[in-house]
Amino acid sequence: MTYNGEIVEKRAYPSPNPAIRLTEITYLSQGLRIKGLLAEPKAEGTYDGFLYLRGGMQSIGMVRPSRIAQFAAQGFIVFAPYYRGNRGGEGRDEFAGADRYDAVYAVDVLKQYCNDNIHVFGFSRGGIMALWTAILRKDITSVVTWAGVSDATATYWERTDMRRMMKRVIGGTPNRVPEAYDARTPLFEIEQITAPVLIIHGYRDENVDIEHARQLAFFLEDANKSYETWYDPDHAHQYPPAKNRETVRALCEWMKQQ
């Protein structure tokens, strides 16, 4: 008898940080074998869980060992699913279609390693995955979306470079199959979120317009949810290294206070 979130394979993975142990894990999601990367501090202790939801599609925006080790070094056990159809995982990436369950069941993977607090973090496309995870699960402690997508339709119109991929994956344009884009957009289900949400976004972001953050804040406000916004007037999609490190530390502190 198999179950969602069941770990079926583990292998040691080279770590960029001697204080952090990395393991590549294969787990089950809707009967598919999905791969992801686990980062654990080597120091003894009990740690909160941190679900890292990557951006991009396929090889673009793939999980970087140095990035998840950076979050683990803040005192978390981090798990970053690659999503279906990536790095040898079964199925196909659907840009927040059924692949949202790869994030949802990754929480069950994390629970086998950490304490009861599970924080969800999404960057860029990971933002839409993080929101769906918080909508579909009631055992999430906090949610952070950084430069996060919140509206699939808006992404299609904003990102001319992604249109061919989105048409192929989603089944057409928003004009032809609006219901398929709406079904991927978590804004319409935002009242289901029970965890506090932190929205981080740069005004100069040309990959994911700040309107995604504003819309998310509007819907959270309307649903009377707990949320906070950290908007940055000077930065774009990727923050420069010093600002990035500062923001990582600050958001990890915010998580631990929830």
DSSP assignment letter at 240: P
Question: pTM of the prediction?
Answer: 0.97
Alpha-carbon span 157 to 174, nearest angstrom: 9
What's the structural domain count of the chain?
A: 1
For residue 36, being part of any structural domain is answered with yes
Q: In this predicted structure, what is the pLDDT of residue 32?
A: 98
The answer as to whether 170 is a domain residue is no
What is the tens place of the pLDDT at every residue in 177-226?
A: 999 999 999 999 999 999 999 999 999 999 999 999 999 999 999 999 99
Question: Considering the domain boundaries, does residue 193 fall inside one?
Answer: yes
Token pair for 149: 């997508």
DSSP one-letter code for 196: -
Please check whether residue 177 lies inside any domain of the structure.
no
Range of the domain at 91: 4-149+185-255
CA distances from 196 to 44, 115, 117, 240, 248 (A): 29, 19, 13, 27, 18
Is the backbone of residue 20 left (phi > 0), alpha (psi -120 to 50) or beta? beta
Query: How are beta strands 142-146 and 7-13 bridged, if at all?
Result: unpaired
Mean pLDDT value across residues 71-100 = 96
In a domain, 167, yes or no: no
CA distance to 46, 70, 114, 123, 160, per residue, from 76 (Å): 9, 10, 8, 17, 37
Whether 66 maps to a domain, the answer reads yes
What CATH number is attached to the domain comprising 63?
3.40.50.1820
**Mean pLDDT, residues 123-151 taken together:** 98
Q: Answer yes or no: is 241 within a domain.
A: yes
Neighbour order of strands in the sheet with 76-81? 7-13, 20-29, 32-41, 76-81, 48-53, 118-123, 142-146, 197-202, 227-232
Catalytic machinery residues: 124, 237
Q: What pLDDT, on the 0 to 100 scale, is given for residue 60?
A: 75
> Could you identify the residue written with the tokens 């957009």?
185
